[in-house]
Amino acid sequence: MSRKLYFALIILSLIWGGSFYFFKVLIVDFSPLVVAFLRATFGAITLIVLIPFFRKSFKGKIPFIPLFAVGILNTLIPWTLICFSEQKLTSNLASVLNATQPLWTMILGVLLFGVRSNRNQLIGLCIGFIGILILSDVHLSNFFSVNSLNFAAMLTATFCYGLATHITKRYLKEISMFQISLGTLLVGSICSGFIVLFLEEPIQILTKISWHHIGALIGIGVFGSGIAYLLYFYLIQKGSPDFASISTYLVPVSAIFWGYILLNENITWRLIIGLTFILMGVYITSRKVKLNIPVKSSKV
């Protein structure tokens, strides 16, 4: 692998790790659905601006139904749930839970898409689940508490990412990665926009937006969605899907770094141990396993 690929990998992990910080900034003044809408919109605008540089990517017939499904599962639902989860969870914990996405990808592949599992996958799944239990510290007596619901919301978001990965591979393999990226963001922006119009007051949203928010939206939308998507698919095309999936391992480390620097969040032993178990599970699960899918990284 060239130095350019490793440099792109590090930049991607730093961008996606920082997204959890920007989520924290935005949910103070906006609802989770509004944040998801703004992020998708800023990301879509970024890629629209870049269309002249990717004209060759627009070839072939676009399967709109699968693309719509991927847009919902890749943006609208998970981004709303991530924002909801971060109302109670620290950005550190949210980023670590985000690293469970490859585990969901494996489970869904076996149950719904005919992907064969092996011993490494089962062992890795069990180790990753232990890591989740260590992180959650959820007791049966308070399983339905607010914190537990936020915890479950984060896991549901990664479940959606895993499902979108399989749909992308099976039904969108004939169109370019740029088309998938732009289409996904447009679906997320349009659908969340309609919901926001019915549930929120658009004028109040506009009056709330300040330069402080604009900076966070540039970070999470322009870089965390638009630029990050292009970097990820660059790693796939110039490197390999397996190489690109390494970002899954690096995002929690990056998010913990940003959370400590920008949000003054504590790095506890429970967080470190839980992260270690989850990353061990992800590593063992993906080791020498050919799922025949482009493993979707931990988007936030």
pLDDT in tens, the chain (300 residues): 577 888 888 898 889 888 888 888 899 899 999 999 999 999 999 999 998 888 767 777 889 999 999 999 999 999 999 999 988 887 777 877 887 887 788 788 888 888 777 777 778 778 877 877 777 665 545 445 556 888 899 999 999 988 988 888 888 888 888 898 999 999 999 999 999 999 888 888 888 888 889 999 999 999 999 998 888 777 766 775 556 666 776 777 787 778 788 777 777 888 788 888 877 877 776 665 444 444 455 556
In a domain, 215, yes or no: yes
In a domain, 291, yes or no: no
Decide if 96 contacts 155 (C-beta within 8 A): no
In a domain, 96, yes or no: yes
Residue 91 in tokens: 């950005």
Q: Tokens 């599962």 identify what position?
A: 73
Q: What is the pLDDT of residue 240?
A: 59
DSSP string, the chain: --HHHHHHHHHHHHHHHHHHHHHHHHTTTS-HHHHHHHHHHHHHHHHHHTGGGGGGG--S---HHHHHHHHIIIIIHHHHHHHHHTTTS-HHHHHHHHTTHHHHHHHHHHHHS-----HHHHHHHHHHHHHHHHHH---GGGTTSHHHHHHHHHHHHHHHHHHHHHHHHHHSTTS-HHHHHHHHHHHHHHHHHHHHHHHS-HHHHHHH--HHHHHHHIIIIIIIIIIHHHHHHHHHHHT-HHHHTTHHHHHHHHHHHHHHHHS-----HHHHHHHHHHHHHHHHHHTT---SS-PPP---
Residue 52 in tokens: 């002249």
In a domain, 227, yes or no: yes
In a domain, 295, yes or no: no
In a domain, 31, yes or no: yes
In a domain, 297, yes or no: no
> How many domains in the chain?
1
Report how far apart, in Å, the C-alpha atoms of 191 and of each of 55, 228, 280 are: 26, 22, 37
Residues 6+ apart with CB under 8 A from 174: 60, 61, 63
State which residues form the domain around 234: 3-286
